[in-house]
Chains A and B, each alone.
Chain A
Amino acid sequence: MNWTSMILKGIVAALFAILGPIGAAHANKADDTLVVALQRGILSVDYHYTTKREYIILSELTDDGLFYIHPDTLKPVPLAAKSFNWVDDVTLDVDIRPGIKFHDGSALTADDVVYTYKWTLNPKSQTNRGKQYAEWLQGIEKKGPMSVRFKLKYTYPLALTTLGRGIPLRKKGAFDADVAAGRIPNGQTLNGIGPYRLVKLDPGKSTIVERFEGYYKDSPKGRPAIKRIEMREIPDWGTQQAELISGGVQWMYDVPTDVATNMGESGQATYLNGPDMRIGFLILDAAGYTEKGGPLTKLQVRRAINHAINRESIVKNIVKGGAQVVHTACHPNQFGCVQNVMKYPYDPAKAKALLAEAGYPDGFPLEIWVYREKEAAEAILADLNKAGIKAKMRFVQLTSLDKARKEHQIAAYFGTWGSGGLADVEGMSNHFLPTTDRNMSGDTRVAEYMIGGQKFRDEAKRLELYTKGVQLIAEQAYWVPLYAFTVNYLTSKDLDFPVPKDGLPLLFQAKWK
């Protein structure tokens, strides 16, 4: 043995003595653990008190509600509910599926369902969605040991869908300790009924869930194939890629298109992309809030703007991936989002002609407020300037945009909306309420049709109203619909992950190849 080798070995041995072993081998297929990387970590595990996408992903694993949005049809189907019956337009009876257990082994009963909903509706509980549900839900009462009755304030066609998302069931008394202590629950522990149970929460670092062996066999979600899932917070895309290549993680979500395509082409990972309910659009101040009788109040001008923008080029060269051009003020996959609307193909000459017709042959200045999608917005500005409109961008934080819009200081803005993954035009309703500052049409018919559709359970009637509304917005060019986003995923080669149709990943469907 030579001296150099001895010294090197000595140094390594000393390092091990000081630092300890390098660390456990990566969790992966070999130990049936799927490690997923998230840009934002999990801080709290109770979906009653969280909102963002990563929490929905977790909640789909650990929680079940009464209903479930089926990934194939995007329609609600009974989950913890066995069956349901509309007694009348505002009374819904639900029978609970027998044999469902909480993660602590106790059985789910009507008492638990009543407790969960009463807790949600109680203003003191401060749940995130309490106010939202209280808008249409009057209350809940126990009908029998395994059946409950919901009373609605008015006819609400999306009651089942909404009951399927957002209200995970909790054991009766789950929040009693918090009430006694006078605090808002902080969601550091969880006793749900979902296909996975919480094993460890290390807030902001890692959350580990394990397959719940007591999960009911007839669940529409099915039995998960993978035993354990770890959700790790890794904020940097470069680090996430390095972990994926080295086997430290097996799934990346909502990856920027250039990163996803590069990794996919390199053969080091599988690149998947699927639709998202999010659409991008410009909303124009047709009502003239910012300038009474200004250019945007003229139909020809709004149509000119629609014709001036080359959406196909933006999608192909900037947004890329699976993004697609949209022509409606809603996502084409949403119920009620009819596509037989007036379309505005890219035609700068026509745009110029329309501007001249409206009395603006030399264009006019236009400030567009933008809070994301800067590259696409720059392309839009270039197109508008080509058509003669002296457009400039005001790039701000979303909060500033919200504030300025509320004060009617915005003539046009670049908005995006994900509808919470809801496959129904109802998901876009925030933009059409007569009272919202997002509705800059100044046209009462917009709310009449687009909000009116929420008041009937009859699908034909709803479709009729939505059709009128969607066609009206296109015909009057109140919006400049741009494109539907895409969600990119990167997975390890040995993972089989079904791409969701609504952009909400269901990790319990993942399995090893």
Chain B
Amino acid sequence: MLRYALKRLVLALLVALSVSVATFALLSFATDPARAIAGEDADPLVIEQIRERYGLDRPLPVQYGAWIGGLVRGDLGESYHWKRPVSELIATHAPVTIKLALMSIFVTIVIALPLGIIAALRPNTLIDRAALSTAVAAQAIPSFWLGLIFIILFAVKLRLFPVSGDGTTWHFVLPCIVLGASSVPAVMRLTRTGLLEVLGSDYIRTARSKGFRGLRLLLRHALRNAMLPVVSVLAIQLGHKLGGSVIVESVFAINGLGRLALQSILGGDIPTLQMLVFVFALTFVLLTLLSDLLNGWLDPRLRLG
């Protein structure tokens, strides 16, 4: 298992590096960071000044080499926009996104698992259809729209929550519901399908014949096996939330990594974006690894394999 984990770690680093090369190339060809920093109407002399300041007048391989060299030495570089070390930026923004991601994945689990279980226990009934319809509807609603509707309803009309910002935990309630809702359909459907399959299997029939019934049968025998694909999907969803909550963070003016990424893209802030992409890629691969390990824990057959 240790060898497997190490192999995956090396793979994760390689993936992150490849992504960083692609990001650097794409950004460098698609945008002029000096122009983005200076603004639309900037005097050419101002743009030239900025280009010199950040060494953007050097050949691209030299610029990339400097970045990767810094990374090896533990220097993540300095943001063109924030004029602060990238490491500091990531350290200040990451807790916000982690909090949002964990709260929203909690929302997903709390909604999706019971719905999926109920739908599986009562297949093809009104409850099942209602649960599936909810899932389809939730999948079809764009996050920015749901976010604005929640703001209008719960913050402006009912005044139950703040409209935007991330000052208190209350500020996270609406965004984490919006973000969590987007993952409900996938998790719910997978729970339902997995559980239906398990409930029809031979060992469950055997368990029933031994007298296991109700919650005991569900929790001790069925759910554990049905959860295998769900765990993988939850890990991927968590990865999405850690790296891809750009829209929700923008709508609710939350100062997390997603918004930092958006600001970096719009502003041509290559050092920040390079590092963010590196971190996001690593996070994804590590979460996939974690889900594999969890699956191994849940299913001893996988460990042996």
Contacts and interface: CB of A to CB of B under 8 A. Distances in A.
A6 interface: no
A18 B259 CA distance: 27
A53 B40 CA distance: 10
A131 B253 contact: no
Interface stretch (A93-101, A236-244, A440-448): A236-244
Interface residues of A, number: 53
A245 B155 CA distance: 10
Contacts of B296: none
A402 B35 contact: yes
A449 B268 CA distance: 37
Interface in B20-43: 30-32, 35-43
Contacts of B87: none
A203 B82 contact: yes
Contacts of A248: 162-164
Contacts of A20: 168-170
A308 interface: no
B240 interface: no
Interface stretch (B48-56, B122-130, B208-216): B48-56
B163 A243 contact: yes
Contacts of B44: 430, 436
B148 A51 contact: no
Interface residues of B, number: 52
Nearest to B85: A186
A57 B122 CA distance: 61
A488 to B, nearest CB: 18
Contacts, number: 133
A239 B41 contact: no
A195 interface: no
A234 interface: yes
Contact of B151 (A53, A184, A238, A399): A238
Interface centre among B30, B46, B163, by most A CB within 10 Å? B163
Contacts of B49: 126-131
A239 B252 contact: yes
A19 interface: yes
Nearest to A419: B41
Given A49-B83, A130-B49, A242-B156, A23 B32 contact: no
Contacts of A187: 83
A338 B93 CA distance: 52
Contacts of B151: 238-239, 242
A238 B250 CA distance: 11
A232 B254 CA distance: 11
A399 B32 contact: yes
A44 interface: yes
B168 A19 contact: yes
Nearest to A184: B53
Contacts of A44: 82-83
Interface string A110-138: 00000000000000001111111001000
20 contacts: A18-B169, A22-B161, A22-B170, A52-B39, A126-B49, A127-B49, A129-B43, A130-B49, A187-B83, A188-B84, A204-B82, A232-B165, A233-B253, A236-B148, A236-B253, A239-B151, A248-B162, A398-B40, A402-B32, A418-B41
3 residue pairs, one from A and one from B, having the closest CB atoms: A186-B83, A399-B32, A131-B45
